[in-house]
Amino acid sequence: MTQAPARPRSGRRQHDREIVALAVPAFGALVAEPLFLMTDTAIVGHLGTAQLAGLGVASALLMTSVSVFVFLAYATTAAVARRVGAGDLPAAIRQGMDGIWLALLLGAGVIAVALPTAPHLVDLFGTSDAAAPYAITYLRISVLGIPAMLVVLAATGLLRGLQDTKTPLYVAVIGFVANGALNAGLVYGAGLGIAGSAWGTVIAQCGMAAVYLAVVLRGARKHGAPLRPDAAGIRASAQAGVPLLVRTLSLRAILMIATAVAARLGDADIAAHQIILSLWNLLAFALDAIAIAGQAIIGRYLGAGDTQGARAVCRRMVEWGIAVGVVLGVLVVLTRPAFLPLFTSDPAVKDAALPALVIVALSQPISGIVFVLDGVLMGAGDGPYLAWAMVLTLAVFTPVALLVPVLGGGLTALWATMTLMMTMRMLTLWLRSHSGRWLVTGATR
């Protein structure tokens, strides 16, 4: 009897080691990704205001295109991890290759649509006559890198499923450095202007994709996994991604509605909202890293048929999510006075942001639970439920958010509504996790 408590502690230590080993490199890779855009912005910003405005419009279109297809990483991670847990590495790599082939097909489709419609897409943003030519130039060149970026997403999902988050970190860091060097050299050294920035990013993206493919090919040769396209496998990957696509689009709709509401509150409120949203996204990286670990670990446990282990690691990751959320919340409260002057000197913007940041801080433990359970259910391949839950959340959030300008309360009320949205997500995810219906074992779901 005296030895009984040691087993849970030992199990928690094992789970902690797994979570840290996967989450820390994943966090580094997640942070490296937005640095691409920051580098482009810093370099293009010195060319002129029109060029920077053009970059802003084109980047918004490109980032939307890539974010819509993030299911290539999420669905691939879950499917590959299941096969790893089942002990079938050739099938795991084969599953990842199906995701990569799907990424190439989707990337080709994006190019076919975006190249001829680039002027119309730019015009939808109401881009000025001065900025529009730069936006069109950047978009038409950068869209050529979309297939590479989607391959990076799918290959990242494959490696995460294989329990490897270090390689994506190394590739992201090298890609960031190469992107900066290429942008500086082509924009200023070669005198290509904004086109040089676009070409530099495309070359860096293609280089990252090439490195990933080399790693995947080496693994395929080692384990005897076939590399040729498989129509059934590609179709299965697409079907698994559809629910996650619905989930992502619903979340994007929530963020767009929140921004539209903030714009109706006034210039100071929308400016403060953009600052807070940037911070919110940064905080999400830390929590998303735990979610990524959850996708990989849960998929492996369920592939091995270990439902007890899956439940145990789920509980431990929720504890991690809450703890990290508390730490992040405290940091937000303590750094508010120093954080805001980095972005604005306008007293009206600061006055709008300060109380709203308190709401953001208080909601971080809730966000921690949401991100973790989201990752757990993704790892379990429970995409249809995630899609339904997010559509329901969107339906609840929309009317409440639209009432904010009518009822008053300003930006603080809007971010209270965002917290309501996260609470709704937490409840739907918590109910599912406790139902046990996500505990479907086997190499495939």
Mean pLDDT of the chain: 88
- What is the average pLDDT across 92-99? 93
The tokens for 216 are 């995947």
pLDDT per position as a tens digit, 193-215: 889 999 999 999 999 999 999 99
Percent with pLDDT over 70 in the chain? 96
Check whether 4 has a pLDDT greater than 60: no
pLDDT per position as a tens digit, 302-318: 999 999 999 999 999 99
Lowest mean pLDDT among 176-180, 236-240, 287-291, 340-344: 340-344
Position 6 scores a pLDDT of 41
The tokens for 113 are 């649509």
The tokens for 285 are 């990286």
pLDDT band at 3 (very low <50, low <70, confident <90, very high): very low
Segment (H or E) for 345: none
Segment (H or E) for 113: helix 89-124
Position 418 scores a pLDDT of 96
Would you say 367 and 402 are in contact if contact means Cβ atoms under 8 Å apart?
Answer: no
Termini Cα distance of the chain: 38
Check whether 168 has a pLDDT greater than 60: yes
Check whether 344 has a pLDDT greater than 80: no
Check whether 264 has a pLDDT greater than 90: no
**DSSP line for 173-210:** HHHHHHHHHHHHIIIIIS--THHHHHHHHHHHHHHHHH
**DSSP line for 208-259:** HHHHHHHHHHHHHHHHT---S--HHHHHHHHHHHHHHHHHHHHHHHHHHHHH
pLDDT band at 33 (very low <50, low <70, confident <90, very high): low
Please state the pTM of the whole predicted model: 0.88
Position 5 scores a pLDDT of 40
Nearest C-alpha neighbor of 365 from the set 411, 331, 400? 331
Position 304 scores a pLDDT of 93
pLDDT band at 1 (very low <50, low <70, confident <90, very high): very low
Check whether 321 has a pLDDT greater than 90: yes
Check whether 374 has a pLDDT greater than 90: yes
Q: What does the alpha-carbon distance between residue 74 and residue 361 come to, in Å, rounded to a whole number?
A: 27
Signed CA dihedral, 263, 267, 271, 276: sign only: negative
pLDDT per position as a tens digit, 408-441: 888 999 999 999 999 999 999 999 999 999 999 9
pLDDT per position as a tens digit, 376-417: 999 999 999 999 999 999 999 999 999 998 888 889 999 999
Q: What does the alpha-carbon distance between residue 240 and residue 81 come to, in Å, rounded to a whole number?
A: 14
Block residue for tokens 């002057």:
341
pLDDT per position as a tens digit, 46-66: 788 788 888 878 887 887 777
- The CA-atom distances, in angstroms, between 296 and each of 72, 225, 310 are 14, 20, 11
- Spacing of C-alpha 168 from chain mean position: 14
**CA angle, residues 307, 238, 173, in degrees to nearest 5:** 80
Check whether 8 has a pLDDT greater than 70: no
pLDDT band at 141 (very low <50, low <70, confident <90, very high): very high
143 DSSP assignment = G
Position 7 scores a pLDDT of 43
What are the backbone dihedrals phi and psi of residue 3, each rounded to the nearest 5 degrees, phi first? -90, -10
pLDDT per position as a tens digit, 103-131: 999 999 999 999 999 999 888 777 778 88
Would you say 412 and 356 are in contact if contact means Cβ atoms under 8 Å apart?
Answer: yes
Q: What does the alpha-carbon distance between residue 313 and residue 316 come to, in Å, rounded to a whole number?
A: 5
Would you say 141 and 202 are in contact if contact means Cβ atoms under 8 Å apart?
Answer: yes
- What is the average pLDDT across 156-162? 94
Lowest mean pLDDT among 17-21, 210-214, 371-375: 17-21
**CA angle, residues 394, 396, 402, in degrees to nearest 5:** 90
Other CB atoms within 10 A of residue 289 CB: 26
Check whether 373 has a pLDDT greater than 70: yes
- What is the average pLDDT across 173-194? 90
